[in-house]
Structure 1
C-alpha cells in the first residue's frame, strides 16, 4: 500500500513537504512533494537546519507546485546533502527558482558572514549557510519542466499532471495518479490556490476527480474584501499620505504581490488619481521578477494586460512613468534623503530583512508615514508584530517606535479566501478524503467547520502523520 507522510506545512503556513512512498513495480519508490523553507522565528531556523538524513539519496523524484520559498526554499539544501534526481515543475516555476534561490543563497551568505564575525569575537564555533550559489546552480540543472495539462511519468508508475493554480507565475495544482494496493489512487495537492479577484493571473482550475485532496487553508477563516473596495481604500491611503506629506512604505513580496501593486498604481496613475511624484521599486529580486513577468506576459490574463495596453505595445515606459527601479545599494540609500511624497516598495514582504527595514529606520517613527501591509504575515515575523499592534519593534540592532499609520489591506491577497476554497473543494465528485495543510490552527479549524456544513469531511494532520492512499 502506498503512503503519504506529512513533513511540513501542517498547522503552520510555511515549510511545505510531503513524502510519498509508492508501492509500485514490485518495490518501493520514494517521491517528495514540495521542499519548502520554514519562515518566522528561531523554531523555523532550527527546522531548516535539521539534516535530511538518508532521504536525499533514497529519493527518486521531487515534485514542486510553485516557486515561493515556503514551497521550494530547501531544494538546494536537499541537493547539497546528496539529491541528484529530477525536480519536476512548470517552466514559470523554473524561471522563478533561478531568481529566488540565488537571492536566498546571497542573503544567507551575508547573514552567516555577520554571524561568524560575532562568533569569532566571542570564541564561538562558526556556522555555515544552509546552501550556497553552487548548490543553487546544481539544483537548477535538475529541473525538468512540464506544461499545464501534459502527463509526465514518474518512478513507480506514477503519473503527474500540473493544472493552473492561478496564484503566481507558473503556479500549479499537482495531480498524481499513484499505484496503491493493486489499484490506482488519485492524489490532488492544491498548492496555493489563487484569488480569482486578483489581477494578472488566470482563475484556478477546478478538478472533479480525486481519492485524496491536500488543500491549503491560509485564509480558511475569512474572505477577502471585494477588489473594488480594496482599490478605493488603497487610493484613499495614498491620497491621505500625500495630504500629510509623508512617504508610503509597502513591504514587497517579490513574486506576484509586487507586480499586482504596480499594476494598480499604473491604473491609478493613468486615471489621474496618483498624487505621488515618485514610486520606487527597491528590491533587486522584485525587479528581476517584474521583468520576468513582462517577458512571460503571454501566460498572464489577457484582459488585464489590455487595461495597460502592454499586450500589444510592449512600451513599458508608458506603464508607470514615475516608477524608478533601484538596483544598487547606493540608489537605495539615496531614497532615505526623500522625506515625503514617495511610494517605496521594498523587500522583504514579512519585514524580516531586506531593504524595507532600512526604510523603517528613516520613516517608521514619523507619524506622517503610511505603512501599507498587503500580504500575509507569518507568526514570528516583524510584519506580524506590527499587524498585531506592537508599539515598538527591534530591527538592525535597535528599537524603533511604530508611530507610522499602519494599514492592512487584505484584498490584494493572491490566495483564495474561504468562499473560494469551499467552491474549489465542492467541485470534487465522490467525496474524496480532505486534509487541510498550509494554515494556522484557527484558520484550519474554521475551514474544517465550514466544509462540514457543506457535507465535506476534512482532517487536520499533525507533523509526522502517515496515511495510506
Structure 2
C-alpha cells in the first residue's frame, strides 16, 4: 500500500519551528479533515514570516468538518478571523468554559489587529457565536457517521488555563475497516497549578501529537515558586519599589492572584497585609470576572478556600485599573512615591500593552523589580530583559533604548506549560501508549531533548515508538 493511501494524515500549518501559531489538520480522506487550533504567530516566529500576510489562511477549508479549539490563548485561536475570511463555514468546537472566554479574546484581537469599528466587531462576534459548539469534558461528540467514515471527538482537561483541553479523535474508515485514535495535547499544564485540576493521561492513543515547549527542562515545585514570589515581594517592600509582573490576561494573571491572596492571607506583618496588588488590564479584569463565574471548573483546593469564606480572585488588597488616564497616573504614582506594590499587566512577553509603560519608567531604577512567570519567546522584549537584565544590560522599548537597573528574576514554576517530566508522564502513564509521537509547538533544542527522552523511555520499557518532528506543509 502506498503512503498516499494511508489515512488519517497529519498536516501542520503552524506550531512547527517555534511555540506559536498552532494549527494542525487531521485528514481522513481527500475531502474530509479536522482542524485543531488556528493561532497567530508571535515574537521570533512572526519575524520569520512576511508580516500580517503570514496569518492569511492559504490551505483549503472546504474539506474541514470542524475546528476544535484546545484553549483560547491567541497563539491557538488568533487566526480565526482569517479562517472565516477564507470561507470556513463549519462549527467551532470547544469546552464550555472556553466558549465563555473565546469571544473576549477574539474581541481584543480584532481591536488590536483589525479594526476599532464596534459595529464590525459586533457582527463578527455574532457570527462566531452562531458557530460555537460547547462540549462537556469526557463526552464523545460525533462529527460524521455515514457509509464512509465515523469520526468523533472528545475533550479532556489539559490543566493549562481554564477551559483548556486535549483532544481525542476516533476515526473509522469503513472501506478498510480500520480505526485510529489520534490525540492532540494542545498545551498541557503543570501539575499542582493554582485553580486547575492536573491533566490525566488518556487511556490510549495510536498517534500522539504533543507540544514540546519545555521539553528540555524541569520547573520548580509549587512550594519553591511561592517562596520565591514571597521573597521578590519582600525585597520590594524593603526597597520601597514595585514588582512588575508581565502576564497574559488569561490564565497566568488569575493563577498569580490566587497565589497572592494566599500569601496576603497568611501574612503576619502589616506591610504585607497593606500591600497593593494591581491588575492594570481591562481585558485581564474581564477574564478574572469570567473566571469567577466559572467556579464549577475550579479544582478541589480552590473550592475549599471558597467554602472557608475566602475569595481568591476578589480580595481586599486587589485593585483594577481601567481607563488609560488612570493607567498613566498609576505608572507615575508608583514610579515616584516608593509605595510598594505588585503590578500585573499584559503582555506576558512585554511585546506591547500597558506593561511597557511600567517598564520604560521603572527598569532604570534599582528599587523596582521585574518578575517573569512564563515563557519568553526569542525576539520579544521579555526575552531580552530576562537575558540581559541580570547583567545590567538594556532593552529596546517603543523604539528607545532603556537601561536595565531594576532587579530581574524568573520563576519557572509558574509556567502554565508542563515540563519535560510532566510531558513524559503524559505518555508513559497511558495504558496503551502510542506507536507514533509527533512533536509540535517547541523550539529546536527542547524538541530534540524531548525526542531523546521519549526514545530512552520507550527503549527502556521495550515499547516500539516512532518519534517525528512536525514539518512545514
| CA deviations over 1:427-460 (Å, ceiling 9, x no partner) | 2325421111111111111111111121164534
2:472 corresponds to which of 458, 464, 469:
464
Aligned residue for 1:368, secondary structure, equals coil
**Mapping of residues 108-123 of structure 1, within 5 Å:** 108-109=113-114
Q: Please, which moves more after superposition, 133-142 or 194-203? A: 133-142
| 1:49 corresponds to 2:57 | no
Aligned residue for 1:8, secondary structure, equals coil
Which residue pairs with 1:346 in the alignment?
345
Which structure has more relative contact order (CA 8 Å, sep 6+)? It is: 1
CA distance in 2, matches of 1:81, 1:45: 19
CA distance in 1, matches of 2:466, 2:71: 24
Which residue pairs with 1:329 in the alignment?
324
**Normalising by structure 1, what TM-score?**
0.89
Gaps of 5+ in 1: 114-130
Which residue pairs with 1:69 in the alignment?
74
**Normalising by structure 2, what TM-score?**
0.88
**Residue 315 to residue 16, structure 1, CA distance change in 2 (3 Å):** closer
| 1:139 corresponds to 2:131 | no
CA distance in 2, matches of 1:48, 1:216: 25
CA distance in 2, matches of 1:54, 1:443: 28
| 1:169 corresponds to 2:156 | no
| 1:194 corresponds to 2:189 | yes
**Residue 54 to residue 5, structure 1, CA distance change in 2 (3 Å):** closer
Alpha-carbon shift at residue 139 of structure 1 (Å) = 2.3
Q: Please, which moves more after superposition, 446-455 or 351-360? A: 446-455
Which residue pairs with 2:416 in the alignment?
414
CA distance in 2, matches of 1:251, 1:316: 20
Which residue pairs with 2:138 in the alignment?
149
CA distance in 1, matches of 2:419, 2:254: 20
Output the aligned Cα RMSD.
2.2
2:232 corresponds to which of 225, 229, 237:
237
Gaps of 5+ in 2: 1-6
Alpha-carbon shift at residue 136 of structure 1 (Å) = 4.0
CA distance in 2, matches of 1:187, 1:347: 35
Which residue pairs with 2:104 in the alignment?
99
Q: Please, which moves more after superposition, 298-307 or 141-150? A: 298-307
Verify the 8 A CA contact 1:79 1:139 in the aligned structure 2.
no
Aligned residue for 1:448, secondary structure, equals helix
**Residue 431 to residue 175, structure 1, CA distance change in 2 (3 Å):** closer
Verify the 8 A CA contact 1:248 1:344 in the aligned structure 2.
yes
Alpha-carbon shift at residue 305 of structure 1 (Å) = 3.3
**Residue 272 to residue 2, structure 1, CA distance change in 2 (3 Å):** closer
Verify the 8 A CA contact 2:438 2:470 in the aligned structure 1.
no
Q: Please, which moves more after superposition, 348-357 or 324-333? A: 324-333
CA distance in 1, matches of 2:221, 2:214: 15
Alpha-carbon shift at residue 83 of structure 1 (Å) = 1.4
Alpha-carbon shift at residue 229 of structure 1 (Å) = 1.1
Moved over 6 A (4+): none
